[in-house]
Amino acid sequence: MTNILRVESSIKGEASVSRKLTDRIIARLTAADPDATVTLRDLSTGVPHIDGAWMGAVFTPAGTRTPEQADRAAYSDALLAEVRAADTLVIALPVYNFGVPAPLKGWIDHLARKGETFQYTEAGPEGLLKGKRAIVALSSDGTKIGSEIDFASGYIRHMLGFFGITDVDFIAADQMVFGPEETLQKAEAQIDALAA
Q: In terms of residues, how long is the chain?
A: 196
Q: Residue 113: count other Cβ atoms within 10 Å of its Cβ.
A: 19
Q: What burial class does residue 188 get, using C-beta atoms within 10 Å of its C-beta: 0-12 exposed, 13-18 middle, 19+ buried? A: middle
Task: Please report, in angstroms and rounded to a whole number, the separation of the first and last CA atoms in the chain.
Answer: 13
Q: What burial class does residue 123 get, using C-beta atoms within 10 Å of its C-beta: 0-12 exposed, 13-18 middle, 19+ buried? A: exposed
- Tell me the residue type at 179: G
Question: Using an 8 Å Cβ cutoff, are 108 and 7 in contact?
Answer: no
Residue 46 Rama label (left phi>0; alpha psi -120 to 50; beta): left
Q: From the annotation, which residues make up the binding site for FMN?
A: 10, 16-18
Q: From the annotation, which residues make up the binding site?
A: 10, 16-18
Please give the Cα distance from 76 to 31 (Å, whole number): 31
Going by C-alpha positions, the residue among 154, 148, 153, 158 that lies closest to residue 171 is 153
Please give the Cα distance from 139 to 143 (Å, whole number): 9
